[in-house]
Amino acid sequence: MGWPRASLFLLAALSALLLGCEGSSSSHFLRYFYTGVTEPGQGLPQFILVGYVDGQLFVQYDSNTRSMESRAPWMEKVDKEDPQYWERNTQLARGWEDPFRVSVETVRNYYNLSKGFHTWQLMYGCELTMDASKRGHWQYAYDGRDYLSFDKETLTWTAVDLPAQNTKRKWDLDVAMNQYLKDYLEKECMEGLQSYLEYGNETLFRTERPEGKVTRQAGFDDTESLVCQAYGFYPKEIELTWRKGGEVLHEDTFHRNTAPYPDGTYHAWLSISIDPKNRDQYRCQVEHASLAEPLVLAWEEPASNLGVILGCVVAIVLLIVSMTAGSYIYFKKCQEGYRAAPREGGLFAF
């Protein structure tokens, strides 16, 4: 499989990951994503593992490099406190490769699918909210669709369809492993999250104020859209609202989920369909933790046609970036622990 197919897969996956995996505005979360494919190719390893803290990529492993590697400068601190961290987690990650190769084919047979390109994915993680409550999740997907999810309160698995029942019946019987998963999500994962937050304190707890602008695009039937863009901000949580005469508008608006830039900051946009005759009455209000007062934006007449063209190009580029920067794996949640992933060599037999 060459670049085109791999690129399409990564595009669909990463947008789900970054546009779907969001914590609450005052929470911190640790998530891991594992993906195995039947037909690896250029740019797409057969197995890949990535970890995120508060939406920031910090570790990665794949079957090509076969090494757990840092993806955040602040992870250099782990070498001083835990010199064996990288070797230990490399070995643990390698232990997942064979089970994923077997699983993707086993589940394919459950669905009676033909051979070709198929994916088997795991996502798991934990979240610490402002009120100190703890949340955890562990779930699998096949070909980008939900397959099984773990209920840590009942120590059972929820299957989405009949083929998934084959796996559920076997996994529900492993009470010891299910208890281990519950303990892992509630204790070990939380300890890992707190440690990573300490390592990345200067980065993860910083604030960077958003820049913003309003552009316009022609619509249909004598309408147009005003697009409010905010970019270069951190942390991720931000609120954009369109207002007219001080009234907050919800109808005819289209919101794009917040997505990351490669430098670790974020961007977001909110558009609204309007009557061009009333264009001057609209204001976009941006609220963010870095701002003492909300940022208020309005559309401004460009100095020349070049400005109009540039405004359209910026809007299109932001849309493309928000799609591509958001696509790496199907899931909307996931993680692995700070100390160790559950049982070396995979979790369950099918």
Region 260-286: mean pLDDT is 93
pLDDT at 325: 38
Q: What does the pLDDT read at residue 312? A: 53
pLDDT digits (tens, 9 = 90+) for 61-72: 999 999 999 999
- Give the pair of three-digit tokens for residue 22: 């969001």
pTM of the predicted protein model: 0.74
Could you give the CA distance from residue 109 to residue 112 in angstroms, rounded to a whole number?
A: 5
Q: Is the pLDDT score of 15 beyond 50?
A: no
Q: Are the C-beta atoms of 146 and 157 separated by less than 8 Å?
A: no
Beta bridge partners of 282: 244
Q: Residues 210-222: what's their mean pLDDT?
A: 89
pLDDT at 323: 41
Name the residue with higher pLDDT: 219 or 24: 219
Contact indicator for 212, 312 with CB cutoff of 8 Å: no
Q: CA dist 77 to 28, 127, 196, 199, Å?
A: 20, 22, 10, 6
- Does residue 254 surpass a pLDDT of 80? yes
Which domains does the chain carry?
3-203 (3.30.500.10), 211-324 (2.60.40.10)
Residue 38 has a pLDDT of 96
pLDDT over 90 at 212, yes or no: yes
How confident is residue 262, by pLDDT bands cut at 50, 70 and 90? confident
335-350 burial, b at 16+ Cβ within 10 Å, e below that, comes to bbbbbebbeeebbbee
Predicted pLDDT at 256? 79
CA 266 to chain centre: 13
What integer pLDDT is reported at residue 219 of this predicted model?
78
Say whether pLDDT at 253 is over 80: yes
Average pLDDT in the chain: 83
- Do residues 31 and 51 make contact, with C-beta atoms less than 8 angstroms apart? yes
Which among 290, 294, 293, 295 is positioned nearest to 235, based on CA atoms?
A: 290
Tens digit of pLDDT for each residue in 46-94? 999 999 999 889 999 999 999 999 999 999 999 999 999 999 999 999 9
Res 10 pLDDT > 50: no
Average pLDDT of the residues in 275-294: 96
Burial class (CB in 10 A: 0-12, 13-18, 19+), 272: buried
Q: Where are the alpha helices (DSSP H) in the chain?
A: 3-20, 78-81, 85-110, 162-172, 175-183, 189-199, 201-204, 305-324
pLDDT-based confidence at residue 5 (cuts at 50, 70, 90): very low
- Residues 307-326, buried b or exposed e (16+ Cβ, 10 A)? eeeebeebbeebeebbbbbb
Asked if pLDDT for residue 317 goes beyond 90, the answer is no
CB 59 within 8 A of CB 51: yes
Predicted pLDDT of residue 305: 52
Poorest-confidence range of 30-44, 233-247, 333-347? 333-347
The rounded percent of the chain whose pLDDT value lies above 90 is 67
What does the DSSP 8-state code read for residue 37? E
**How far apart are alpha carbons 297 and 228 in whole angstroms?**
8
Is pLDDT at 311 greater than 60 in this prediction?
no
Count H helices, E strands: the chain? 8, 16
Task: Report pLDDT for 316.
Answer: 55
- What is the percent of the chain where pLDDT is above 70? 79
**Residue 304: which pLDDT band, with cuts at 50, 70 and 90?**
low
Interatomic CA distance for residues 107 and 35, integer angstroms: 14
In this prediction, residue 174 carries a pLDDT of 97
